[in-house]
């Protein structure tokens, strides 16, 4: 990432794709309360995406607004991390994704709230409050499943093992960015280590670290997600309700 535009675009894409993935749980969550909770978290992510993509459009100066950036780009133009585009899998996988993402987004938005860019600082100040709830929610389920039954422990450990390699991309060094993601790793490690220990889960060893999302190189899963998300806008461009 180079400069505020790329930075805002990447964070906006993270939030947008996360919102779309979480929305897939609507009417499918294991409890009614959880159905509502995931929908609310998805809406929080969508709200952050709108703010970030609107600002990215202004910084780009090419006349693209939040809708154009969300609905009229192909997968190779998206800059989200691979973590957020992974399929939901079972409930344990979704909670592992949510927990790891929130453990990254909370220190990110907290640092952003104090950056020199006033727009990004305002977005960070708003989003960090929501991210604190997202982190609490994800951590609660990781501990509940990890320290639950033998079956729930097995599934939660398998989810952590599967998702963990994709967390490393979040912290790729970028000294030119308003907030260097590499500086967020200690806070992430502290949070994750504490929660996994309480959940009686083992933190995976660092090894394979897939990446490429920030450069527009994605898994096949993103193209399918975008096809569903963008179909109405592309079928009726410029339509007004």
195 is a domain residue? yes
Q: How far apart are CA 78 and CA 29, in angstroms?
A: 28
Q: Say if 187 falls within a structural domain.
A: yes
Cβ-based neighbours of 17, under 8 Å, separated by 6 or more: 78, 80, 84, 85, 222, 225
Structure pTM? 0.96
pLDDT of residue 115: 96
Query: What is the C-alpha separation between 59 and 41, in angstroms, rounded?
Result: 27
Based on the structure, what is the number of domains in the chain? 1
In a domain, 71, yes or no: yes
Is residue 108 in some structural domain?
yes
What is the per-residue pLDDT across 55-82, written as a single tens digit (0 to 9) for each? 999 999 999 999 999 999 999 999 999 9
User: Model confidence over 186-197: pLDDT tens digits?
Assistant: 999 999 999 999
Task: Please indicate, yes or no, if residue 241 is contained in any of the structural domains.
Answer: no
For residue 240, is it within any domain? no
- Is residue 241 pLDDT above 80, yes or no? no
What span, in angstroms and rounded, lies between the C-alpha atoms of 141 and 122? 30
End-to-end CA distance of the chain: 36
For residue 117, how many other CB atoms are within 10 A of its CB? Answer: 17
Which residue, chain included where needed, has tokens 């995406």?
49
Instruction: Give tens-digit pLDDT for 211-221.
Output: 999 999 999 99
CATH of residue 141 = 1.20.1260.10
Instruction: Give per-residue pLDDT as tens, 81-103.
Output: 999 999 999 999 999 999 999 99
Domain limits for position 77: 4-235
């Amino acid at each position: 990432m180079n400069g505020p535009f790329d930075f805002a675009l990447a964070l906006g894409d993270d939030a947008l794709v996360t919102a779309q993935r979480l929305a897939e749980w609507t009417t499918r969550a294991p409890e009614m309360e959880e159905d509502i909770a995931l929908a609310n978290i998805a809406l929080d992510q969508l709200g952050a995406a709108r703010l970030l993509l609107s600002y990215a459009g202004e910084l780009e100066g090419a006349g693209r607004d939040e809708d154009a950036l969300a609905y009229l780009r192909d997968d190779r133009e998206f800059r989200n991390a691979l973590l957020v585009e992974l399929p939901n899998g079972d409930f344990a996988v979704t909670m592992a994704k949510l927990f790891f993402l929130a453990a990254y987004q909370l220190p990110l938005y907290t640092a952003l709230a104090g950056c020199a860019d006033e727009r990004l600082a305002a977005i960070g100040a708003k989003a960090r409050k929501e991210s604190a709830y997202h982190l609490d929610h994800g951590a609660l389920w990781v501990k509940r499943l990890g320290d639950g039954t033998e079956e729930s422990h097995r599934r939660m450990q398998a989810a952590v093992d599967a998702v963990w390699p994709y967390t490393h991309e979040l912290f790729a060094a970028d000294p030119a960015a308003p907030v260097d993601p590499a500086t967020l790793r200690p806070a992430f490690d502290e949070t994750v280590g504490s929660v996994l220990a309480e959940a009686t889960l083992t933190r995976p060893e660092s090894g394979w670290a897939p990446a490429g999302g920030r450069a527009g190189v994605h898994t096949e899963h993103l193209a399918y997600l975008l096809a569903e998300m963008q179909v109405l806008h592309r079928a009726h461009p410029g339509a007004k309700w």
